Every structure is written in structure tokens, then in C-alpha cells.
Amino acid sequence: MNGLTSTPAQRWLARLSFALAGLAIVILLVVAGLKSLAMVAVGLAAAVVSLAAAYVFLSRRGIWRWLSLAVFVLAPIAVIIVYAFRDLLWVAVLSAAVWLVAGVTARRALAGPWGQLTGFGRAALMRRLGDLIARDADRLAEIETRDTGKLLREMRGQLGSIPEWFYYFSGLADKLVQNWKISVLLRSLAPRALQDIWFPRYMADPQFLMAHCLTEPRGASDRWLPYNVPEANMDTTAVHADGHWIIDGRKQFISNGYDASLYVVYANTDRSAGMLQGTSSFLVPRDTPGLQVTRCNETIGGRFMNNGEIVFEDCRVPEDHLLAHGDALGQAGVYFRPGKIIQAAKNLGIGIAAFDDTAAFVQQRVQGGRILIKHQAVAVRVAAMATKLEAVSTLLRYAALAVDENSPDATRLCDMVKVFASQEILQVCQHAVELHGGYGAMLEVGVEKYFRDAAVYLHMDATVDVSNFKIAKALFPGTAGAYAGPE
């Protein structure tokens, strides 16, 4: 986050840090000038090089980022060495220390929450979330009918400010949700021996990811319509032979698919039955012969989840890796409803972040002689954004309560909040981009990322249209169409 999208406290901290850096430069130049003009040139050159390196560090990625960091650190060291030979060592050390503190402070001030979540910080976050999942493992299989809201509240309370990071990085949230889904299935369906193998690995490795392989090139959301006939079956098949299940087929648009260590794969095991009776699920480790990760898809938003494509060719898994035979889709329902609640909650987080940044911007940016919020057209948009967020939040709480109480209308409400959140939050993010003017289209500002992330949610956990079909079917089961195949 930069000055346009950071909080006022962050900006003041950044100004203070740059003031400290300026003070260090003044100390160097004044004291060095008492010694010789050559020393002034040395200090000034080091200052220019370090400030240029700081700019590169804050604005670039990859190898340039680390090279600039090295330059930023080495420049004061070079000054110390040069000044040491001129009996000015104490001045150089003092100024370099102030310089370095200023740089670190500026980095933390401008980076936003993610700046505090790097390296071991990410590992610690994954471990803490893993601890929560392990602690609640015995309840995960029952999460659909009770404790959904309670568990989310406990996680928010125990993780402190960590959910704030999810506002800015929906891709990270998507990764963790996929791990949650597979954890639920493992706990409720996998043999104890497999649980004893995979849960410890998951807990021991902060980078351990899991993926849910359901979507195929020929069908995805449309297969969740009330249309249960053999013609709609999955193309991926699994055949039992010689104590193994042999899987053949292709899966695409799989969240975590590119870098997961463990996959739950859905395949057809009975061509004569419909999807609800002929689909089975299998636990497939990444290193299984015949499993090949062929692509990491380029998505407009949620890019951190590394959406992947996986091909199975004569992929043989032991028969005890079968999780559910025939009724895999029904068994997976253990997380379908709470999963939609979580999707809507992630979506809402993006909207809140977009609103927060926009609210700060319109109260500080001056246009036409006054701050933007004083312009009526801007005020109307900001009010609309806040209203949409409140509406999504209210429906989300209502749907979550229905899931907790196992209400008869829980499934319909989950579909409703998924659709409503994805459409309303996208509009909130569109307002955010437009109210930032030209800055809204700049990558370094970050507002455009909210819009891109929100657009992805139109297609996650079923498309908007398919979800609307299911809502209509739930409202009018006797008269609504099948929407696929013969009526």
C-alpha cells in the first residue's frame, strides 16, 4: 500500500521515517563538510544511491527488490568505511543507524498489513490456522449443522488482526479455504490410517496445500443443477482393478491445483447412474505416477491461489484411498453450505477494504477547491457503497444462522448470499476504482486489485446464473424447470 491507499497513521509514520533519513543525511554532510568537501561528495552520493534503492525496493518485484535492498544496506556501510579513514567513524555509524531505522520504518508504514506477513510470518500464520483446524477437527464433520458462526468467531478472536490481511489478499484466503475443505473431507471420510499420515504432514509444513478437483473442461457449475442423468456424468473415470483404482481424465480451474501436495479427485465409477449415484472421490498425493500438473492458469484476480490444470493418465491409487463410493457429491455436502458462507464472507472482506481505502481517499483528495466528499456526486456513491456492504453483511449473518440451525431454507439462503455478495461487492469495487479517478487504474495504488478479485467471485462456488437456477428451483420445486436436459 502506498500513500494514496494507506491509513493516516501509516502516512505520518512514513513522513517521520523520511524525516529521520533526511536528518541522517544532514548530519553526514554538515560534519563531513567540516573535514573536507570530498567527504561531502561521498555522503551526498551515498544518500542519492540509498534513496534510489529505497524507491526501487518499494516499487519493484523479484530480483530487483532484493538487489535494491542490498544496495540500500551497503551504501551506509561504504560510508562508514570511507569515514573511518578520516576519523569520522562515530558520525558515520550514528547516521547509518538512523538511516537504516528510517528505511525499515518506511517499509512497514507503506507496505500495509502484508508487509508484516513475510517469511516466517507467513509460516506462523499457516501454523496458527492449522492449530485451529486440528483443535476443531472432531467438530469439522458436523460444521454444516452447527457451530459455523461460533467457529468463525473463535478463529477471528484467536487470530487477532490477521483477518485484516484477508481484506487485501483474497488469494491467500482462497488457499486457506481449500485446505479447510479437504480437512473436512479427510476427517469425515478418510480411514484413520490416512488421517494419521496426512494431518501431521499438514501441521508440520506451513506450505502444505490441498486441492479439490471437481471442475472439468466439459462441465462445472452446470452439473450442480437438478439434472441427475448419466448424460451429465463426469468425463474423468475411475476403474477398480488389481487392488487399485485407475483414474483417467482431466481437471481444470482447480484452486491450489498448481502447487498442492494432496488432491481430492472426483471421478465417475458407474456410467449407468446419474452423478449423484455414480460419482466417487479419491485421495491422490501429488507424487502419484500418472498425475501431471500441466498448467497454472492466469486469472484476473485471486492470483495467489495458483489455479491449475491436472491430467490423470493411468493414475493408480490404492483402494484404501477411496473416500466415498457412488455418493461422493452427497458426502461432500458436509462443506457445501458453510463453504458458500465463507465465499460470501471473503467477498465481503474485499468490499470492506475497497470502501475503507476509498473513504480515506475522498476525505483527503482535494478537487475543485474542496475535498472530494464535499461533492454531492461523490457523497452519493460513497453512501451507496456503505449501504451495499451493510446489506451483504446482514444477509450473510442471516444465512450463517440458518446453516447453524439447520434451517429448511439454509441451502436457498446460501445460494442467495453467494449471488448477492458477488454482484453487490463488484459494484462497490467499481465505485472505488472510479472514485479514485486515474489513480484507480494504477497498479501501484492497489484499488484495481479489489475490482479484479471481486470479479472472480462471480464464478466461484458456481456461477451466478446456475446459483439463480437453484434458487428458483428451491422456491418453486413443482413448476421451475430442470434447466438442463429433458423437462
Q: Answer whether residue 147 is part of any domain.
A: no
For the stretch 29-77, pLDDT in tens is 666 665 666 666 666 676 677 667 766 665 555 566 667 777 766 776 7
Shared-domain flag, residues 314 and 357:
no
pLDDT at 119 exceeding the cut of 50:
no
Instruction: Look up the domain containing 346 and give its range.
Output: 335-475
Shared-domain flag, residues 324 and 370:
no
**Residue 276, Cβ neighbours under 10 Å: how many?**
12
Q: Give the total number of structural domains in the chain.
A: 3
pLDDT on residue 306: 85
Average pLDDT value for the chain? 78
Read off the amino acid at residue 171: G
Domain boundary among 304, 331, 358: 331
Read off the amino acid at residue 351: G
State which H helix or E strand residue 214 sits in. Answer: none
pLDDT on residue 89: 62
pLDDT at 230 exceeding the cut of 70:
yes
State which H helix or E strand residue 307 sits in. Answer: none
pLDDT on residue 218: 83
Read off the amino acid at residue 463: T
The pLDDT of 383-392, averaged and rounded, is 97
pLDDT on residue 413: 96
Shared-domain flag, residues 273 and 412:
no
- pLDDT class of 103 with cuts at 50, 70, 90: low
Nearest Cα residue to 254 out of 206, 217, 203, 280: 217
Q: Answer whether residue 486 is part of any domain.
A: no
Q: Contact, 148 vs 398, CB < 8 A? A: no
Q: Answer whether residue 27 is part of any domain.
A: yes
Q: Answer whether residue 2 is part of any domain.
A: no
Nearest Cα residue to 43 out of 110, 96, 87: 96
Instruction: Identify the burial level of 87 via C-beta atoms within 10 angstroms of its C-beta, where 0-12 means exposed, 13-18 middle and 19 or more buried.
Output: exposed
Q: Answer whether residue 42 is part of any domain.
A: yes
Q: Answer whether residue 40 is part of any domain.
A: yes
Shared-domain flag, residues 87 and 103:
yes
Q: Is the dihedral of CA 395, 400, 405, 408 positive or negative?
A: positive
Q: Contact, 288 vs 316, CB < 8 A? A: yes
Domain boundary among 306, 331, 356: 331
The pLDDT of 186-191, averaged and rounded, is 90
Q: Answer whether residue 259 is part of any domain.
A: yes
pLDDT at 238 exceeding the cut of 60:
yes
Shared-domain flag, residues 267 and 348:
no
Kindly give the residue spans of alpha helices, DSSP state H, lying in 85-119. 89-111
Domain boundary among 331, 351, 382: 331
Stated length of the chain: 487
The pLDDT of 221-225, averaged and rounded, is 67
Nearest Cα residue to 189 out of 326, 342, 382, 361: 326
Q: Answer whether residue 428 is part of any domain.
A: yes
For the stretch 153-174, pLDDT in tens is 444 444 444 444 444 467 777 8
The pLDDT of 79-106, averaged and rounded, is 64
Q: If DSSP codes are grouped into helix, strand and coil, which group holds residue 219?
A: strand
For the stretch 275-324, pLDDT in tens is 888 999 999 999 999 999 999 988 888 887 888 999 999 999 999 999 99
Shared-domain flag, residues 322 and 370:
no
For the stretch 459-480, pLDDT in tens is 888 889 889 988 998 999 888 8
Read off the amino acid at residue 51: L
Q: Contact, 90 vs 9, CB < 8 A? A: no
CATH number, position 396: 1.20.140.10
The pLDDT of 378-382, averaged and rounded, is 97
Strands 262-268 and 210-213: parallel
